[in-house]
Structure 1
Amino acid sequence: MAEFLSIGAAAFLLGVAVSTLRRWEKESRYFSDFRTPGGHRRYALEKLLAFCGQSTANEQRRTICYARVSSHDQKKDLQTQIARLHGSRSRKNQRAIA
């Protein structure tokens, strides 16, 4: 038997806002599977998981890290920040470009 999620649970699973799912439906980009008698949207879990896999496979996502200091005297602090950012990216198997 298929499992259906509320709009809030579906939005959480996709990592988007509830308003985004409503907008996608208006724009014919993604549709709820049905509505309850009260008008609440329901989304099939299997369909949502397939959508997640498709969208993440087709997109190359990048994370931008930013480091700054307020004066030239703090340049050493900037180098420390950059080193920490490089370290956090390598622990996540992501490439960092300085």
Structure 2
Amino acid sequence: MQGKPFKIISDIGSGLNYDKKGLKELIHLICSQQCSQVVVNYQDRLVRFGFELIKDICQEHGVELTVINQTKAESSNQELVKDVLSIITVYSAKLYGKRSHHNEKIIKTNQELFKDN
């Protein structure tokens, strides 16, 4: 890749959310053949689930997909455990995020109520 123009695409959000601006842009670039190579640090940073689908889309459009930090081949049991832990992690983060947002609203309401006193 040295000497070739490149674009960094990043997203913030759940790996289970496929409605992300960066992911949509990447898929558009691949499908419109506006890129020849996609490089990711870890495959689960691209998508939590469905990496094989992205890989197939790249192959279909002649785009090379490179994963820099690949883990060793996992058994199907190890892969299943990893998937279940990923799901738990994502939903735990959502749950704590909702609690945090709810608590912020309560604090703000209380501050407004007691501000007048």
Pairwise same-fold verdict (TM > 0.5): no
Q: TM-score, normalised by structure 1?
A: 0.26
TM (norm. structure 2) is: 0.23
